[in-house]
Amino acid sequence: MDVPDLWVANEDGTELVRAREIATVGLDYNGNVTVRLTGHDGMPLTLVEHRTHRDERKPGDLHRQLLQILVHLGDSSGAHVVRPVHHESRGWEWVSEQL
C-alpha cells in the first residue's frame, strides 16, 4: 500500500513538515499547539501561537483534531497539506487541501 504524502503547515504557512516526522503533538497552558519532530534532537515547531491580545478562543482540542485528520487522510490517495485556520465564529480548525 502506498502511503500518501501528508504535510502539516503552521498557521501562516511559513513552515511545512512531513506528518510522518511528527513524534508528539501538544497543547500548552497558553494555547500554543506544538509538535516535536523525530530526529533533529526533538526540535519543537509551533503550529498555532495563541495571541492573547486578540479576542479569540484558545485552540481547545486542536492538537487532537490534528491527529484525527492525519489518520483520516492517511487512508486517502494523493498528497495533502493540512493547516490550522481561525474562524471568528467557530474558532480553530484544521483544513486540508490536495497538492
- Taking a C-beta distance cutoff of 8 angstroms, is the pair 84, 62 a contact? yes
30 is a domain residue: yes
More confidently predicted of 89 and 2: 89
77 is a domain residue: yes
- Whether pLDDT at 3 is above 70: no
Q: Provide the residue range defining the domain that includes 77.
A: 6-98
59 is a domain residue: yes
1 is a domain residue: no
pLDDT band at residue 41 using 50, 70 and 90 as cut-offs? confident
How many structural domains is the chain composed of? 1
- Taking a C-beta distance cutoff of 8 angstroms, is the pair 18, 9 a contact? no
Q: Residue range 16-38: average pLDDT?
A: 89
90 is a domain residue: yes
Question: How does pLDDT run across 55-79, given as a tens digit for each residue?
Answer: 556 677 888 899 899 888 887 778 9
